């Protein structure tokens, strides 16, 4: 606030001068412009209006200065806006973790070489036009209904599979790369938690979601 007051000091001084002694202010600032200043001096009513106007301007200036955000990020006289719910709270409620990374691997068919399945531990259905904050920009420009699959692994997923041909169920699978031998047993733990969006051809509705291992995804 101190930085704001420094350039405003001359303005505040002029306004205070007009409040305390409007006649003196007129004589010093405006009388020189008249050949006969005494004949053109404002009336007492004009001086009173000048004093009132300066008081109003001082009030407006004080409100504007106090209402600006301070260096700490807080507003002075204005009430602070209600903060949005933190993304970490939504993430924890949806997937039970405090931190996750969203990745967009391609949709694949079958089991590509040098890949290993990753167990899907949880999912959430979202509308791409109203994605949760914790997804960042992952669904920017996307449309339709999506599933967000949560998995744990040491490396980012490299592919995702989806099977919607079964009328009442939905089967999904997430794959990650492996460099040496690729066991068929799914990875169920890892250092990082990944969010894998996959688009649905139609709304999920009452369909149940199963992992490729045949386990129901909660």
| Domain residue ranges in the chain | 2-67, 87-211
Residue 4's pLDDT band, with cuts at 50, 70 and 90, is low
CA 214 from chain center: how many Å? 38
Q: At what angle do helices 44-67 and 22-29 cross, to 10 degrees?
A: 100
Q: Give the other-Cβ count within 10 Å of 127's Cβ.
A: 14
Q: What is the pLDDT of residues 149-199, one digit of tens each?
A: 999 998 899 889 898 888 888 999 898 888 767 777 888 888 899 999 999
Beta strands across the sheet bearing 101-102: 101-102, 192-199, 145-153, 120-127
- Tens of pLDDT along 31-52? 888 888 888 888 888 889 989 9
DSSP run (H or E) holding 152:
strand 145-153
CA distances from 69 to 22, 75, 139, 141, 193 (A): 33, 4, 33, 33, 37
Residue 3 has pLDDT above 70, yes or no: no
Number of other residues whose CB lies within 10 A of the CB of residue 204? 15
pLDDT of residue 190: 86
Q: What pLDDT does 30 receive? A: 85
């Amino acid at each position: 606030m101190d930085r704001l007051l420094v350039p405003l000091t001359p303005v505040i001084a002029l306004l205070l001068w007009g409040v305390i002694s409007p006649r003196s202010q007129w004589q010093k600032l405006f009388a020189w412009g008249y050949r006969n200043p005494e004949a053109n001096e404002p009336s007492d009513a004009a001086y009173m209006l000048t004093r009132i106007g300066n008081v109003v301007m001082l009030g407006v200036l004080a409100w504007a200065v106090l209402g600006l955000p301070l260096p700490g990020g807080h507003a002075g006289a204005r009430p602070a806006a209600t903060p949005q719910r933190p993304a970490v709270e939504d993430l924890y409620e949806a997937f039970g973790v405090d931190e996750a990374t969203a990745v967009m691997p391609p949709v694949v068919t079958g089991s590509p070489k040098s890949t290993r399945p990753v167990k899907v531990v949880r999912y959430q259905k979202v509308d791409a036009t109203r994605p949760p904050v914790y997804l960042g920009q992952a669904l920017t420009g996307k449309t339709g209904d999506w599933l967000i699959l949560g998995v744990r692994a040491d490396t980012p997923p490299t592919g995702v599979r989806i099977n919607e041909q079964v009328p009442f169920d939905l089967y999904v699978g997430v794959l990650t790369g492996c460099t040496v031998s690729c066991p068929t047993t799914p990875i169920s733990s890892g250092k990082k938690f990944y969010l894998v969006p996959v688009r649905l051809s139609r709304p999920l509705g009452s369909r149940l979601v199963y992992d490729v291992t045949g386990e129901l995804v909660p």
